[in-house]
Amino acid sequence: MNIGIVFYSKTGNTRSIIERLEKELKKNDHMVKVFSIKEDQSFEKIDIEKYDAFIFGTPVHAFSVSEPMKNYLNQISTLKDKKIFFIATQALPYEWMGGKRTIKQMKKICESKDGIICESGIINWPNSNRDKKIIKVINKLNKSL
């Protein structure tokens, strides 16, 4: 499967998860291309048609999807028939402290563009079981492809 991973990372936490996910997907013979949204909200133009699935990763900002990711998702014209996956990272300890809302906001945008919503995962960065949660999310996404 040809997978596009689009992410925004301010501190590097989201980037570290995306790098691990990319390695795992490639081990399973997926073709993976990673795209980074920059701090100034600039991004590389992506040919949506080239990909079967997309993974969108972002940190939670103010209990919501980050502005750079929201702006990126809003500018996409269509995700018709594309499998869509989400990863949210957050500094607060519980998913209900912005993680769930962030996923819900991204889902709403992608559904409006006819994407096929598949799976999501939230990583609470200060959690002592963070590494186990990262592995669990990566495995869940990998199995869904």
**Model confidence, pTM:** 0.94
pLDDT at 43: 82
Closest CA to 57 of 80, 78, 32, 94: 32
Percent of the chain scoring above 90 in pLDDT: 84
The helix/strand/coil state of 10 is: coil
Q: By CB neighbour count within 10 A (0-12 exposed, 13-18 middle, 19+ buried), where does 96 fall? A: exposed
Bridge pairing between strands 64-65 and 53-61: antiparallel
**Mean pLDDT over the full length of the chain:** 94
d(CA 78, CA 10): 26
Residues 68-84 have a mean pLDDT of 96
Q: Tell me the H-state helices in the chain.
A: 13-27, 67-75, 99-111, 130-144
Q: What is the CATH number of domain 2-144?
A: 3.40.50.360
- DSSP β-bridge partners for residue 57: 7, 87
Over residues 8-33, mean pLDDT = 95
12 CB-contact burial (10 Å; exposed 0-12 / middle 13-18 / buried 19+)? exposed
CA distances from 129 to 64, 99, 100, 124, 133 (A): 23, 16, 18, 9, 6
Tokens in use for 57? 């990763």
